[in-house]
Amino acid sequence: MQAPPSNRPALPTALPSTPETLLPLVLQAMEGAPDARLRQLMASLTTHLHRFVIENAVTEAEFEAAVEFLIGIGQATGPTKNEVILAADLLGVSSLVAVINNPASGSSESHAALLGPFWRAHAPDCEPGQSIVREPIDAPTLEVSGTVHGADGRPLPGAVVDVWHASPEGLYENQDTSQPEMNLRGRFTTDAQGRYRLRTVVPAGYPVPTDGPCGGLLRAQQRSAMRPAHLHFMVSGPGHRVLVTQVFPHDDARLASDPVFGVTAALVGHFEEALIDGQPGKRLRHDFQLLAGPTVFPKPPIP
């Protein structure tokens, strides 16, 4: 005996019936993007996300918490703070992108490091040996010098060394209203022998910002927020790729516990004890070698 005819309308055949059958439909919907790289990136990202959700059986409450975290890092980002970049730093993604895109093929090329959330464009141009301390600071003086080499290994005249770092209290000037504008920031041009030199104060380690969602993530994971002391450098020259890097004191106790995974062996510098103007201070000599390529500067995380 035949079953009575159904009054239900015919359904499209391409409808998901299980969690695993949803992904092919999503990928198919994205195939029309004319940009091939966009198609590749979105297909890969979507595939990893779907597999993550299925493999971990993500609950609705966990999904809501993840959405709230993403909303929170966006809302916590503003003119003086970039919580989105901080989240990428804490997950090691910023360092990973820097290493992938700036490979040191030999022992001579300088290693790249993450930009961090506090670089500002248009730092003051300084004379050789000038201090980037914009008002007196009660801290030991640090003298920094070195040579910038081009891709051919020769000293590179006219290269620009942009340097910035936090105060001895662990704050960048755009975090701290008590500091003068562009304090502890400056740009130095190498001389005919490719040399640069500057003065500043010995930097201190500091905690990454913990007043936003990223701080909550660190506390939930019982991770330290303290970064080791470091100097930021952005070195550029015509015909060369822009080098973004950091230099860490060799004797900092936090080298192996950087919460943003920014320390590699090549980035550790020797901060030598020295008498400067009759007072205890330190000296750092650090050379850079650039790679050939287009000179493209990053977008400032904050103004």
**For residue 11, what pLDDT is reported?**
53
Give the pLDDT confidence score for residue 9 in this predicted structure: 63
**pLDDT tens, the chain, 303 aa long:** 565 555 666 655 678 889 999 999 999 999 999 999 999 999 999 999 999 999 999 999 999 999 999 999 999 998 878 899 999 999 999 889 888 877 665 555 688 888 877 899 999 999 999 999 999 999 999 999 999 999 999 999 999 999 999 999 989 998 888 999 999 999 999 999 999 999 999 999 999 989 999 999 999 999 999 999 999 999 999 999 999 999 999 999 999 999 999 998 889 999 999 999 999 999 999 999 999 999 999 988 876
User: Which structure tokens are listed for 23?
Assistant: 């992904």
**Domain range 83-289, CATH class:** mainly beta
- Taking the C-alpha atoms of residue 264 and residue 111, their distance in angstroms, rounded to an integer, is 8
Round to whole Å and give the CA distance between 257 and 207: 12
CA–CA separation, 240 and 127 (whole Å):
23
* pLDDT of res. 15: 83
CA distance 255 to 282: 19
Q: d(Cα 27, Cα 146) in Å, to the nearest integer?
A: 51
